[in-house]
Chains A and B, each alone.
Chain A
Amino acid sequence: MSSIDLTWVIGGPQGGGVETAANIFAGACAGCGLKIFGKREYYSNIKGEHSYFGVRVSDKTIRSNVSGITMLVGFDSETIFRHVEDVFDDGAIVYESELTGMKMDEVHTLDAQFKERLKKYLTSKNKPFTIQGLLDEAKERGITLYPVSFREILANLSDETKNPKIRGMFRMQNVLAVSVSLGLLGLPPDTLLKSVGTIFSRKAEIAEMNKVAANYAYNLATVKYSKFKYQLPQIPKEEHTMLVQGFQSTSLGKIACGCRFQSYYPITPASDESVFLESNEIFEVENNRPGSTLVVQTEDEISAIGMIIGASLTGTRSSTSTSGPGFSLMAEALGWAGINEVPIVVTLYQRSGPSTGLPTRHGQDDLLFAIHAGHGDFPRIVYASGDTEEGFYDTAKCFNFADVYQIPVIHMMDKFIASTVSTVPRFDSTKITIQRGKLLEKIEDAGYKRFTPSPDGISPRSRLGLENGIFWNTGDESDQEGHISEDPENRIYKMDKRAHKLDLALEQIPKEDQAINYGISDFCIISWGSAKGPILDGIDMLKKEGYKVGFIQIKMLHPFPTGYVQSLLSGVKTIIDIEANQAGQLGSLFNEHLDRKVDYYILKYTGRPMTCNEVFDSVKKIIDNKAEKKQVLTYGV
């Protein structure tokens, strides 16, 4: 069997059911044993602006998006204008046939910069600025066109089912569009219907109506049109595969590892996590009473971090989840947690900055900020996950780091991971360990001092409510009990005691948790976070063409595992830094900590995630000695 790897994109106005359609598509494909990697792109807008969802499907493991579209599905005009250029020459377009007369200038949501670029392209092809013009150009390139009148389908379906209501139910266009495309792609109809049923499982009546519509559109596609050249096969399903959105991984990790207090202030793309936690606030606990997570929506992010510090002082595993703007507001309190040695976890779902930047788009912009946020010297751990699966297991690790070192931990996630839908092996909470460090359950004698010296610098930790465990905390420098002290000797003791934890962390945290070595070669990529997926897929593509490339994924970014990384890089000739920000922030960490410099930078800061093709092309250029020192990636609308 030849392998299948295609990208299906559906677009439409925000609020028009694009996401539902994509979820049905992904569910149906995953139901046939296929691997899914899907991502959603949208504007900072609730209704009307263009949003689209791209789903890559394959029978092999996939970890990223590709540049290009195999099948484009649009029930509005903007989708056609925005994406036709990206459709592969052997691809297909499913579109609303009644829209072909639309002129570009009639679509108000198309911005001037985009229109100018597209007009230039159409002019070069000698085509009018209409949907027809674009489609003609597509046809000349070899693309298969599937004109569909969704209005007509609704009318016919209405007549056949003798249900006059259906005629005007344009909301169902999304379901019709997926169903037509799955018909063209030859996926068995029962998986489609099952997926529709799952998506609408909360509303039986709507589920039924949509199933009827899906079935009708699917059959129509198989009868009326010729099959698309690529067909989706049904392959044996791997047991215990989940279809997960990235943000669900950290939520589930938090529940599993015992985080029982979460506060948040709404912000994209972080708040989905808190909403998930609240939706699942009660759960079973083995041989015990039901457990619960208290989720508190606060008045701002300052309150969010303040509350979790207060909660953590009671011994509760506590965390907040935010994005760049919110994290900026947390800087002062982060230092308070640092000086008072309070374990907290801040899950930082990065997006494009600065300021509100590209509020709904991806970016790995906040690495250096996470490392430096807050005034004064205090220890923290900055830890980054590379994908959904890592998100689950790393969450538990971050809470352990926080408890063991009595330290704030910043867990770096991002928009790319948050909004990725992918097939992953079922999370296994038996693989999680829970280490609470020196948290005390009982104190027998009087005389407890919170910051008492100990050989490793970490003092036994009491918690509010514990008998004999009274302590004081203050944002001022303090003595062993926690009372304000400006004594110079005490100051040195306390500063060094806190700073020492980072040495300890470097020493104790297993090397493979600090950085992952995917192979070392003359040319070696260094990266962090969600760039991992496109890099691994890009490396596979390079391998097929005979290029050998190494890759080190740094997970612990602070304290920086200098010695370990240095040893990994000893045989490497050329270091290539790949990340989604403009400054090459990981690169600058390398330059700061290692005795050698990054040789090449591949950076992307358009807010759109990298594709594996981009990694492939840009790394290949470097190896072929045709690259500038810095390449900036641009793919994606």
Chain B
Amino acid sequence: MASNLADYKTEVHNDWCPGCGDFGIVSAIQMALAEMQVPRHKAAIFSGVGCSGKTSHFINTYGVHTLHGRVLAFSQGAKLANPEMTIIAAGGDGDGLGIGAGHFVAAGRRNVDMTYIIFNNGVYGLTKGQASPTLKLGLKTKSLPEPNVNQSVNPIALAIASGYTFVARGYAYDVRQLKDLIIAAVKHRGLSFLDVLQPCPTYNDINTRDWFSGLDNIDEMTNKPMPRIYKLEDTGYDPLVHIDSPEEENEKLTQALIKSNEWDSKIPTGIFYKNEIIAPYDERMAGRIPNYLENPPAYQEISSGGKSITNISKMLDALEI
């Protein structure tokens, strides 16, 4: 039975602030799931803690709202135990790049076949607007008593350096593009990272919708705003690593890193880097455990009539004297 978009929505009351970018991200996830026709019980949305953490409650699939910073730990465990699931992990920039930064890096090394979306709003929304790890040095958003004293982390560059094999950026107010990016991310075999620029109208009064649209940046010639956001695909940018060679990989990594550094006047969205050559974790596992994918942990039979059916006698024989 086909599912329509409404099937992926819950009736849970949404308490995000009016105009919050999070709405667009949730819609994009629901649209992507509907378009791919992922059976609802075969999908699970894992989320961290923050405003963004509530995401899982609004989507009518399995939903696991985890701990602050730990969304990748929980979600990878689920995916590894049941590789049939379509897993999307979602969380804030504080969640993933502050308290959870260690997991962010380690996950890249594993390359588990799932999707991770960071809601990048430059602030800790749910704790009332403190600086998040992506807020630029020297900026003073609404509730900061003093300007931010830390350098910002570059999520795209960090993902690339950590080994994510699909790295992209979306914009919360461009739901259509975001939906397409989510579909591409889910379909990618390996760990996909999506950095979503998510205006927080309540606490981030600098990186606002108007700012992203360039309303403060008027072209003197045309007298029109110059939008900061642009799409990489419109510039002929090719993110894909086509052949298994160090030169090719270096070229694609380097261009992605350079692109990821663009910010103040031009902010690229779209796919920065995509590598289908590096094996996802499940394939590496199947190399060790040949029937891992067809008989994964979640589907193994372990008992019959309340008795163990695992035969450990060879291991015991080795210990006998």
* A→B interface (CB under 8 Å): 27, 30-31, 237, 240-244, 248, 252, 255-258, 260-261, 263, 280-294, 296, 298-300, 302-318, 332-333, 336, 396, 423, 426-427, 429-430, 432-436, 463-476, 482-484
Contact = CB atoms under 8 A, between A and B. Distances in A.
A467 B297 CA distance: 18
B307 A465 contact: no
Given A287-B309, A429-B310, A467-B41, A261 B77 contact: yes
B295 A291 contact: yes
B161 to A, nearest CB: 15
Interface of B: 10, 12, 39-42, 44, 46, 49, 54, 56-57, 60-67, 70, 72-82, 84-85, 102-103, 105-106, 285, 288-289, 291-292, 294-298, 300-304, 306-312, 314-316, 319-321
A237 B137 CA distance: 74
A430 B321 contact: no
Contacts of B76: 307, 310
B303 A242 contact: no
| Chain A interface, >50% SS class | mixed
Nearest to B54: A484
Given A31-B321, A469-B41, A432 B308 contact: yes
Contact of B295 (A289, A302, A482): A289
A464 B63 CA distance: 9
A472 B309 contact: no
B309 A288 contact: yes
B298 A316 contact: yes
Nearest to B39: A467
A427 B41 CA distance: 40
A104 to B, nearest CB: 40
Given A258-B308, A333-B67, A314 B315 contact: no
Contacts of B64: 310, 313, 472-474
A261 B74 contact: no
Contact of B85 (A256, A302, A308, A314): A314
Q: Which of B61, B62, B314, B321 has the most CB of A within 10 A?
A: B321
B300 A258 contact: yes
B101 to A, nearest CB: 10
A434 B80 contact: no
Contacts of B320: 240-242, 426
A470 B61 contact: yes
23 contacts: A27-B321, A241-B321, A255-B310, A263-B77, A280-B315, A285-B309, A291-B302, A292-B292, A292-B295, A294-B81, A294-B285, A294-B292, A306-B66, A306-B70, A306-B74, A306-B103, A307-B74, A314-B85, A423-B321, A427-B312, A434-B303, A465-B84, A470-B41
A204 to B, nearest CB: 17
A448 B301 CA distance: 24
A263 B81 CA distance: 11
B81 to A, nearest CB: 4
A67 to B, nearest CB: 27
A303 B106 CA distance: 10
A468 B62 CA distance: 10
A612 B300 CA distance: 44
Given A283-B310, A292-B289, A311-B80, A306 B67 contact: yes
A310 B292 contact: no
A465 B42 contact: yes
Contact of B78 (A257, A293, A332, A464): A464
A294 B297 contact: yes
Contact of B80 (A285, A296, A309): A296
Contacts of A286: 304, 309-311
A303 B74 CA distance: 8
Nearest to B281: A296
Q: Which of B57, B60, B291 has the most CB of A within 10 A?
A: B57
A427 B297 CA distance: 24
Contact of B306 (A248, A252, A434): A434
Contacts of A307: 73-74, 76-77, 80
Contacts of B10: 483
Contact of A475 (B44, B65, B105, B288): B65
B81 A316 contact: yes
Contact of A258 (B103, B105, B302): B302
Contacts of B105: 299
Contacts of A294: 80-81, 285, 289, 292, 296-297
Contact of B291 (A289, A293, A300, A483): A289
B288 A281 contact: yes
A243 B317 CA distance: 10
Given A299-B102, A316-B298, A284 B81 contact: no
Nearest to A423: B321
B289 A436 contact: no
Contacts of B306: 433-435
A337 to B, nearest CB: 10
Nearest to B41: A467
A257 B310 CA distance: 8
B80 A313 contact: no
Given A284-B311, A435-B306, A464-B85, A291 B42 contact: no
B102 A300 contact: yes
Contacts of A311: 77-78, 80-81, 297-298
